[in-house]
Amino acid sequence: MAKPMSWKWKLGIGVVCGGLFLTGFIFTPSGYTWMRGRIMDAYNELPVGERRASPLAQDFLSLAKFRGSVCLDTDTAMLMYKEFCGYNYKGLNGDEYMRRALATNKLEGICSPDGKTGWGPAHPDAPDAFFEYLDMYRPTHSSQYIKVEIGNYFRLFYTWNKTYSGTRKPHPKFMKYWPKLRDLGMERNVPWAQDIILNPPDVVPWAVEPKKKD
């Protein structure tokens, strides 16, 4: 007759089964909802003035990366990146959203409407988040929509930051991605991309709207 299983074996099997369950759980929509909820609960419990500097931002962006690159749920990942940047527009085209945001300084996302507190376009990692968003956006959208999003990177991290962030300067990481996006715009025949190459944005604060032909 076999001996009863010792408590150590039972504990070990329980730990293994629990680990397998947890590993599978984090791939599910319910797992995503649970993890996001924990991050946002912790974020909302912070004093408003401490939210931007909180390491919770990295937890949020890591979850977005995991959801998009590992779980292949790019729609959810893109929405998270947009929320992080204060760029949470609805639909395919962010042009109208950015026109309104620049005119009224009313942002939508995980930041205050004026972008002064929380994450949003002044956060140190916001250009990284936007670039990740655009990298997921590009394979499934036409040049027409991609060129609008390239322009909105400029509007958000150059024009908005100079106008509303309080620094009167573009985002410190603006130029980390702008040369790549500028070249992509040229490849996709974005009308204003040539003007931006000839007049670097750290020198001349032009508008990003295409010039009207006489």
What pLDDT was estimated at residue 29?
Answer: 84
What pLDDT was estimated at residue 6?
Answer: 55
Query: Do 210 and 191 form a contact (C-beta atoms < 8 A)?
Result: yes
- Domain presence at residue 191: yes
Question: Smallest Cα–Cα separation from 65: which of 49, 50, 81?
Answer: 81
- Domain presence at residue 142: yes
Q: Where are the alpha helices (DSSP H) in the chain?
A: 7-25, 29-45, 56-65, 74-85, 95-104, 126-137, 143-154, 161-164, 174-187, 193-198
What pLDDT was estimated at residue 146?
Answer: 86
- Domain presence at residue 4: no
- Domain presence at residue 152: yes
- Domain extent, residue 76, equals 72-198
- pTM for this predicted structure: 0.79
What pLDDT was estimated at residue 136?
Answer: 95
Number of structural domains found in the chain: 1
- Domain presence at residue 168: yes
Tokens of residue 109, six digits: 């996302």
Angle between helices 56-65 and 29-45 (to 10 degrees): 160
Bin 86: left if φ > 0, else alpha if -120 < ψ < 50, else beta.
left
Number of neighbouring beta carbons within 10 Å of residue 199 = 11
- Domain presence at residue 109: yes
What pLDDT was estimated at residue 20?
Answer: 36
Number of neighbouring beta carbons within 10 Å of residue 104 = 10
What pLDDT was estimated at residue 194?
Answer: 47
- Domain presence at residue 190: yes
> Per-residue confidence of the chain (214 residues) as pLDDT tens digits?
545 555 444 444 444 444 434 445 676 888 889 999 999 999 999 999 999 999 999 999 999 999 999 999 999 999 999 999 999 987 656 888 888 888 899 999 999 999 999 999 999 999 999 999 999 999 988 888 888 888 889 889 998 999 999 888 899 999 999 888 887 877 755 555 444 444 444 433 333 443 444 4
